[in-house]
Amino acid sequence: MPWCDECARFFNPTSMGRGGECPTCGRVIGKVEKAPWHFKMLAGAAGLYLLWRAVQGVVWVAHRLG
Contact positions toward Zn ion, by CB under 5 A? 4, 6-7, 22, 24-25
The answer to whether residues 2 and 29 touch, using CB atoms and an 8 Å cutoff, is yes
Rounded to a whole number of angstroms, the minimum distance from the CB of residue 7 to Zn ion is 4
- Nearer to Zn ion by Cβ, of 23 and 44: the residue is 23
Rounded to a whole number of angstroms, the minimum distance from the CB of residue 19 to Zn ion is 13
- Nearer to Zn ion by Cβ, of 8 and 65: the residue is 8
